[in-house]
Chains A and B, each alone.
Chain A
Amino acid sequence: MKNLLNRGPSAHVWKTGVPFIWLTGSALALCLLMVIGLVALVLYHGTGFFWPSDIEAVVLKDGRKALGQRWDKQEIPTSNRTGSGQFRIQLKVGNRDVYGSDFQWIDESDIQSTDYPGDAVVFERREWGNFYGFIEALYEGETRVSNTWDVLQAQLYETRERHEQIREIEKDAIGDLNRQIESLRLKKREIELGGGDADEIDAIDRESRSYWEAYEQLADELAQLRSANEIYRVDVRLIGGEVRQIATADIVRAYRPNQLGILGKSGVYCERIGEFLFDEPRESNTEGGIFPAIFGTVMMVFLMSLAAVPFGILAALYLREYARQGILVRGIRIAVNNLAGVPSIVFGMFGLGFFVYGIGGSIDQFFFSEALPTPTYGTGGILWASLTLALLTVPVMIVSAEEALSAVPSDVRAGSLALGATKLQTILRVVLPGALPGILTGIILVIARGAGEVAPLMITGVVKLAPSLPVDGIWPFFHLERKFMHLGFHIYDVGFQSPNVEAARPMVYTTTLLLMGIVLALNLVAILVRNRLRKRVGGATF
């Protein structure tokens, strides 16, 4: 008997269960490793981008010179290795308008000497990317002013203030006038369509003429501001000796990284991160900030949750509490589960056909017919995109809400009914509070799913560059028909559709980092709420 059971040492090892524990443990470790690897990669590439690294002035053996910030260092592939050098470096030399390209590869073996000139300056420009060089002279009008760093910074400050003013006038005052004129035009059109009263049309024309006059005034003001800005110019000497003149008004920021200490660099770093988070994009999204995309993403997630969560909970309540459990309900449950697995682009197409063309088109016909053929709701917008995503995530919500409802013990329901409660009272006062932590878990899943989805958005309302946010100070404040920007789409656009992919690559990582951060932040809020609820109801079931 003893011999039968004891089948040698290997059988013994299996019986202890240790190998199985190792197997499960290593599977988990592998998963964690991949996730940590991904996050680390994104963190590494994403956080370094804003750091103002030193400017290298490189002299090559053949006498050529280059000035720029080190971007990358690579081993040269063996097949096209010419010299004895093992590595080559990539310098961001900027000055795209001069050199034609932002980057230059240099074999390390070709380098004669490298040094870090203290007066080398990085100019971040509104257009054409960075400019690297040495300040030769500063101009105010035709007169040369003393060439000091403080003077340049003062000029920069002054021009930046004016630039802000210009932007404000363009955006707010002129935008406002445009809207008035457009609404008058539509009103006129409406009257014309409805038969037309000559007096009324006259009145409208007069009113609109007064707006045009106001517009002329603003245009004059703008011209003045612009010409006031134009007097400041900088002569910059390139590393090759050539001198170029750039307008101070075109410079966003200028700094000398080689002279900055850790503290100074941190200052520039924070400033650039601030710009990234709170400004609008420049240079076809490869520079500047991504605030509109952050705003659009968060707002879309909220709108989506607003639509998907109540809807999902109500549907789950019916399925779990009221419907007679039978073959039909089981069929619906399977259908809902399958719906969660339908490719998202299919939902996007449905959203385009149903929401945008169907519902949006009808709304336009009935309420905005005077604006036609320009569509108002009959084109992609944040509302339709959110509803499409809500459709996509509602199965997730239903499944998890049902799960949470079924975790409430049936004895608790019976206990409530036995005290004389009606079914509705039981659901509202006992079942839902008990299921709430589980439902919040469902909301977390919905947010995570919705915030990461891009494909359906591309055809229901996301654009590369939205002129205005979906929320602003103009009545009715929420403009749900507007197109919007989205971080996920921004990543795709900057990474693959950008004219300057090399320069935009870090932007992809930082945007990814930000998107992950936002999803994390939204989830953290939900988790905090859930924990508070758990503490209140003291449930241990979830």
Chain B
Amino acid sequence: MAEAELAANTQAEAIVPDIQNPIVTVSDLNLYYGETQALFDIDMQIPEHRVTALIGPSGCGKSTLLRCMNRLNDLIDSVRIEGVVTIDNDDIYGPGYDVISLRRQVGMVFQKSNPFPKSIYENLVYGLRIAGENQRAVLDEVVERSLRAAALWDEVKDRLNDSALGLSGGQQQRLCIARAIAVEPSVILMDEPCSALDPIATGRIEETIEDLKKQYTIVIVTHNMQQASRISDYTAFFYLGRLIEMAETSEMFTNPQLKQTEDYVTGRFG
């Protein structure tokens, strides 16, 4: 019964809130993997200095949408994208747009922690080094600042020159967060950053995200409803490649507009 209702609703216009100061705007976005369409007519706005959670069942296109925002989908040969994505009013898919500078502006944290096979220090300053910054004083300052921001400084300050691969899973993930903020992006994309971590490590990362949103705009993909309700200001629900409903998180979890959203967030399907 729920399935039928859902199918009926997918054709309708998505319910989206009015956002005052969007930093990322997605309009009429369609994305195809070869012949298969993965995203359908996405229209949404991401508010600045807020945490926006993207939820939905597996394969609904949340991660794909996330990767559209830093053009990481470019790596896949068969991907074709139609529509407009703007960040700070620049069309990032426009002709002549500089992907490298986009990726400096939009950081990303991956599902599986992916530290480079280098020391902790070199991991953190990687983004600066490839941008040509090699002054020791500047690098040292950035390392401390970003480690403190990711709440990792006290744990690793004595072994900055040790291999990053020797850290625990949770520490590695926070290192990746620190590495992302070391280049001072304006937006941080997080693709299920806690899915491989235990509850304690997850709690630490959620605290970190809480601190970071004062300075950064965060878009986080999560499968964990509680996590979404705990840390996000806005929540967007996706299903089968479409945006179904987006609202303030409190609203979304207490009083969703659509029945299918309510079914998903209360765990009745999905």
A contacts, CB < 8 Å to B: 324, 409, 411-412, 414-422, 425, 429-430, 433-434, 536-540
Contact = CB atoms under 8 A, between A and B. Distances in A.
A189 to B, nearest CB: 58
B114 A537 contact: no
- A-B pairs with the 10 shortest C-beta distances? A538-B163, A537-B117, A420-B104, A418-B108, A411-B114, A538-B165, A419-B127, A415-B114, A420-B103, A434-B117
A419 B130 contact: yes
Contacts of A422: 100, 130
Contacts of A416: 116, 126
Contact of B110 (A411, A429, A434, A540): A411
A421 B117 contact: no
B83 interface: no
A419 B165 CA distance: 19
Contacts of A537: 117-118, 163, 165
B2 interface: no
B116 A412 contact: yes
Nearest to B163: A538
Interface string B110-132: 10101111100000001101110
Contact of B114 (A409, A425, A429): A409
* Residue among B72, B116, B127, B176 with most chain A CB within 10 A: B116
B194 interface: no
Given A324-B77, A538-B166, A418 B116 contact: no
A422 B127 CA distance: 11
B14 interface: no
A123 B233 CA distance: 98
Contacts of B164: 538
Contacts of A415: 108, 110, 114, 116, 176, 179
B163 A420 contact: no
A339 to B, nearest CB: 28
Interface string B75-116: 101000000000000000000000011011001101010111
A422 B164 CA distance: 22
Interface in B144-175: 162-166
Interface of B: 70, 72, 75, 77, 100-101, 103-104, 107-108, 110, 112, 114-118, 126-127, 129-131, 162-166, 176, 179-180, 183
A411 to B, nearest CB: 4
A434 B72 contact: no
Contacts of A412: 114-117
Contacts of A433: 116-118
Contacts of B117: 412, 430, 433-434, 537-539
Contacts of A429: 116, 126, 129-130
A125 B142 CA distance: 75
**A-side binding surface: helix, strand, loop or mixed?**
helix
Given A414-B75, A538-B163, A419 B114 contact: no
Contacts of B107: 418-419
B72 A411 contact: no
Contacts of A425: 130
A169 to B, nearest CB: 58
A420 B131 CA distance: 8
B180 A419 contact: yes
Nearest to A436: B117
13 contacts: A409-B114, A411-B112, A414-B114, A415-B179, A417-B103, A419-B104, A419-B183, A420-B100, A420-B103, A429-B126, A430-B117, A433-B118, A539-B117
Given A419-B127, A419-B179, 19 more contacts: A324-B77, A412-B117, A415-B116, A416-B116, A416-B126, A418-B103, A419-B130, A420-B104, A420-B130, A420-B131, A420-B183, A421-B127, A422-B100, A429-B126, A433-B116, A537-B117, A538-B165, A538-B166, A540-B165
Contact of B116 (A324, A434, A540): A434
Nearest to B164: A538
A539 B165 CA distance: 7
B126 A418 contact: no
Contacts of B103: 417-420
A414 B77 contact: no
A434 B179 CA distance: 18
Contacts of A409: 112, 114
Contacts of A420: 100-101, 103-104, 127, 130-131, 183
A38 to B, nearest CB: 38
A420 B104 CA distance: 5
* Residue among B110, B130, B179 with most chain A CB within 10 A: B130
A434 to B, nearest CB: 4
B188 to A, nearest CB: 10
Contacts of B165: 537-540
